[in-house]
Amino acid sequence: MKNLRRISMVFIFVIVSSLQPISSHAEEPNYDESIIINLDSKVSESTINKVQEKYSNIETNYIKELDLLVIDNIKPSQFSAIKDIAKEKLDAKEIIEDKEISLPDKSKQIPAKVAFSSQFTEDNDTLYDSWLWNIKQVTNDYRSYDINKGSHNTKVGVIDSGIDFNHPDLKNNIVDTGESFVPVEDNTQDFYGHGTSVAGIIAANGGVKGVGPNLGLVPYKVFDKNGKSKTSWVISAIVKATEDDMDVINLSLSTFLSKKDKEDRETIKLFEKAFKFARKHNTLIVAAAGNHGYDISNSKKLAQQLGKPKDNILHLPGGDKDVITVSATTAQNTKASYSNYGKNISIAAPGGDLDPSFLDTNKIDLYSLVWTTSPVNIPQTPLSKSLGFQEGYEPTLGTSVAAPIVTATAALLKTEYYEKYGEEMPIRKVEEILYQNTDHVENLDKNEVGSGIVNAYESLLNIER
């Protein structure tokens, strides 16, 4: 790599969220109220139809695998009556508000305007490769590719904002159109950008490379074009992806729920049911730890950090015992400044960071960021243009791009195991191999990185029954 490590920042332009281009829309869709009904028993289709006939505007989604019924598009004037019907006719155990889910990167707002003191003269073939320190690190300079690059028979479910079907680095690895759970967006094309960046880390194969450049990708859209989502969309997507036989699911999203709030406690149970359902069917879930810099293993401390000292707060999906929770590290193998941490961190992966002295020196090491795919239909940022990148590639940082490194590594292990032994690799075996073959860094403890920093090459090298 050429010695272009430190770039001066003199003037600053805005880089929002995770430094990615974000689609701008004047109007945001106004979603009506929705509820999730935790049923005491199975309910017949005819009973559901009777409720829908009475209120023709509502939509229902029966998730029979978890005994849940979602009622959507409820007008404020109907809310009380529909809840009463649910209690009387549907044998409702609990009726829960359908809460909003957020992307971890929403918490990273980085104001900046850049002018570069250096000129980049590399051609495109070497330009992109120069920035892929994160992929090189976990693949041992692409040596893992010699063992296994993945297969379209191994499918990764990306539960996110969709994937750009027109991106040259991704389109050949999208093996199914998946499904959209966003009411106003009936396709899985990415209009927000987050899902495409996640997909690129997993299986890009072109200008940039992913950890598993031949893995199969399937999008499940749960975030709309403005980055909004709901609990029911995510839970429905987990169930659907599991039923579609996804080998691994990536969840680069997060929510905070209060253990003291009755509805939140029920929402926690719903997520736990979904996670257990996936695990029971040997679909591994990998989740981002989140970008708040908080200890997510201590619910009382977390509540204090969130400004609610009398509360008791849980972070999900990252932190749950039935998912692999991934924290983020830097190019210097330190914990990323924004990354959540705690005793429930399973493993770490490169997620990038700003230079630690950025606020004092106005300097940023652009090679410390993570570069990945971005939708070609979303305007390119001035930063990527200045560096000579074509449309479709942007810098980012966060546990959102750390998690898919582990997701891809797990998918590669499943591919190699099947090709080697002719049978499906159990989740416990995947976790065992992942955790036993990490890179250990002296100045990082388990609360920051769990078992260590993931190493795809070593994991593939040491795979066994």
| Burial class, 431, CB count within 10 angstroms (exposed 0-12 / middle 13-18 / buried 19+) | middle
pLDDT score for 33: 87
Query: Average pLDDT for consecutive 10-residue bins of the chain (465 residues)?
Result: 33 33 53 88 84 88 94 90 86 90 57 40 60 97 98 99 98 98 95 98 97 99 95 98 99 97 96 98 98 96 95 97 98 94 98 75 79 94 85 95 99 98 98 98 93 98 93
Q: Are 292 and 136 in contact (CB under 8 A)?
A: no
167, 194, 292, 315: the active-site residue? 194
What's the CATH number of domain 7-26+108-461, 3.40.50.200, 3.65.10.10, 3.30.160.20, 3.40.50.300? Answer: 3.40.50.200
Beta strand pairing call for 313-316 and 255-258: antiparallel
Q: Are 85 and 51 in contact (CB under 8 A)?
A: yes
Q: Reply yes or no on whether 315 is catalytic.
A: no
- Global pTM reads 0.91
72, 98, 105, 160: the active-site residue? 160
pLDDT score for 85: 86
Rounded Cα distance, 237 and 68, in Å = 13
pLDDT score for 29: 65
Q: Reply yes or no on whether 400 is catalytic.
A: yes
Please provide the CATH number assigned to the domain covering 33-101. 3.30.70
pLDDT tens string 343-355 = 999 999 999 998 6
For residue 36, give the nearest of 62, 58, 69, 65 by alpha carbon. Answer: 69
Rounded Cα distance, 70 and 81, in Å = 15
pLDDT score for 388: 82
3 state SS for the chain:
CCCCCCEECCCCCCECCCCCCCCCCCCCCCCCEEEEEEECCCCCHHHHHHHHHHCCCCEEEEEHHHCEEEEEEECHHHHHHHHHHHHHHCCEEEEEECCEEECHHHHCCECCCCCCCCCCCCCHHHHHHHCCHHHHHHHCCCHHHHCCCCCCCCEEEEEECCECCCCCCCHHHECCCCEECCCCCCCCECCCCHHHHHHHHHHCECCCECCCCCCEEEEEECCCCCCCEEHHHHHHHHHHHHHCCCCEEEECCEEEEECCCHHHHHHHHHHHHHHHHHHHCCCEEEEECCCCCCECCCHHHHHHHCCCCCCCEEEECCCCCCCEEEEEECCCCCECCCCCECCCCCEEEECCCCCCCHHHHCEECHHHCEEEECCCCCCCCHHHHHCCCCCCEEEECCHHHHHHHHHHHHHHHHHHHHHHHCCCCCHHHHHHHHHHCCECCCCCCHHHHCCCECCHHHHHHCCCC
Q: Are 375 and 161 in contact (CB under 8 A)?
A: no
Domain spans of the chain, in order of start: 7-26+108-461, 33-101
Rounded Cα distance, 250 and 30, in Å = 27
CA torsion, ordered 320, 324, 327, 331, to nearest 10 deg: 180
34, 151, 161, 400: the active-site residue? 400
Q: Determine the Cα angle at 132 with ends 131 and 135, to 5°.
A: 165
